């Protein structure tokens, strides 16, 4: 019996974005991630400032945290950011790495 189902070819044109982006490869999801990483790095900067009390170190660390959090959240050509790579690596090492195979001979 023949299958009466037809294969439907779907062509997706290049450059079509699923979400609105603020600039190339930086959308709403990346903005939320960068705000979270900025908050974490701001607290670290203020803890360093409390123990060091130099304003220049505070200013440099705050600027570094702003630009650094945006840079680790911007996606590259493979559609992954540095933060995505870190998450994928940690998930990989959490999984089982040793597979014991049992072979039965006749």
**pLDDT digits over 39-74, tens only?**
999 999 889 889 888 888 888 888 998 999 889 988
Q: Which domain holds residue 48?
A: 24-94
Structural domain contains residue 104: no
**Model-wide pTM > 0.85:** no
Q: Locate 78 and state its tokens.
A: 């493979």
Q: Model confidence at 89, in pLDDT bands (50, 70, 90)?
A: very high
Structural domain contains residue 32: yes
Structural domain contains residue 33: yes
Number of domains in the chain: 1
Alpha-carbon distance values, 93 to 18, 66, 82, 86 (Å): 31, 29, 17, 11
Structural domain contains residue 15: no
Alpha-carbon distance values, 34 to 25, 46, 63, 75, 95 (Å): 13, 18, 13, 12, 27
Structural domain contains residue 57: yes
| CA–CA gap between residue 70 and residue 82 (Å, rounded) | 10
Structural domain contains residue 56: yes
Where in 1-106 does DSSP place strands (E)? 21-23, 26-27
Structural domain contains residue 9: no
């Amino acid at each position: 019996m023949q299958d009466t189902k037809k294969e439907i070819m779907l062509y997706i044109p290049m450059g079509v974005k699923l979400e609105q982006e603020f600039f190339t490869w930086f959308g709403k999801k990346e903005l939320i991630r960068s705000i979270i990483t900025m908050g974490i790095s701001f607290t670290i900067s203020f803890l360093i400032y409390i123990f060091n009390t130099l304003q220049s170190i505070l200013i440099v660390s705050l600027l570094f945290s702003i630009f650094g959090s945006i840079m680790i959240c911007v996606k590259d050509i493979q559609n992954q950011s540095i933060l995505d790579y870190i998450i994928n690596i940690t998930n990989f090492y959490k999984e089982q790495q040793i597979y014991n195979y049992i072979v039965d001979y006749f």
